[in-house]
Amino acid sequence: MKLRVFKILKNTKVEGPETRYCIWVQGCSIHCKGCQAVHTWTHKGGKLYDTKTIVDDILSQKDIEGVTFLGGEPFEQAEALGEIAEVVKKAGLGVLCFSGNYLEDLKKDVKNQKLLSNIDLLIDSPFEIDKLDYSRPWCGSSNQRYHFLTDRYNKTIFENYQNKVEFNIYKDGSIFMNGMGNFKDIMHKVDLTQIIK
């Protein structure tokens, strides 16, 4: 099965507990006002990957605690992500997934069942710019909800983690910033020469 992907980071510390393999899917129909990932909205962009290729890559990583699916809207490609989640969870990795939908609605669609049954922590609900709130880990508005669907993670995440960003600077000079925060503000404040030295 194919998965349309915006970006993969094989090792990040700011998209969930500990160190994670992170997949930003391409495509989101929800279009939240103030979304910081508008480049992931189109369903035509990104790159198509075979799910088996991604699974093999995840399982070849050392020292990751789990995987994170975000985007884009992961549940618009729930069947492909369900295949990935099922295998990596069996291999002992944790699964964190974001969604701009509500869990109650996701449960109604049979296509979502495999993914839902393999998620440890689901952070759901659309981003609401009027409820901007960076005080809780990994999400940006106070209406978003944390569903601990297994006992792998629990409320201690609120004590143990806070929002951070990472900069990935590539050989060609391009920069990818990820994590959670006001990206525009951060970019204005950051002096990259201080990061690189």
Contact between 101 and 107 under an 8 Å Cβ cutoff? The reply is no
Count, residues in the chain: 197
Tokens 């729930």 belong to which residue? Answer: 78
Segment interacting with ligand SF4, rule: CB under 6 A, options 70-78, 80-88, 116-124, 128-136 = 70-78
Binder among 66, 72, 74, 82 for ligand SF4 (CB under 6 A):
72
46 lines the binding site for ligand SF4 (CB under 6 A): no
Residue 177 to residues 32, 109, 184, 187: CA-CA distances in angstroms?
20, 33, 11, 9
Rounded Cα–Cα distance for residues 73 and 27 (Å) = 6
CB of 37 to ligand SF4, least distance (A): 5
From the list 12, 19, 26, 40, which residue makes contact with ligand SF4 (rule: CB under 6 A)? Answer: 40
CB of 62 to ligand SF4, least distance (A): 30
| Contact range with ligand SF4 by CB under 6 A, out of 30-38, 50-58, 160-168, 185-193 | 30-38
CB of 188 vs ligand SF4, minimal distance in Å = 21
Among 22, 32, 121, 139, contact with ligand SF4 (rule: CB under 6 A) = 32
C-beta closer to ligand SF4: residue 38 or 195: 38
Distance, CA of 58 to CA of 179 (rounded, Å): 20
Residue 76 makes contact with ligand SF4 by CB under 6 A: no
User: Collapsing DSSP states into helix, strand and coil, what is residue 175?
Assistant: strand
Strand pairing of 47-50 and 66-70? unpaired
Q: Residues binding ligand SF4: what is the number (CB under 6 A)?
A: 13
Q: Can you spell out the DSSP letters for 66-128?
A: EEEEESS-GGGGHHHHHHHHHHHHHTT-EEEEE-SS-HHHHTT-GGGHHHHTT-SEEEES---
Does position 75 bind ligand SF4 by CB under 6 A? no
Which residue number, 36 or 150, has a Cβ lying nearer to ligand SF4? 36
> By the criterion CB under 6 A, which residues form the site for ligand SF4?
28, 30-32, 35, 37, 40, 71-73, 100, 126-127
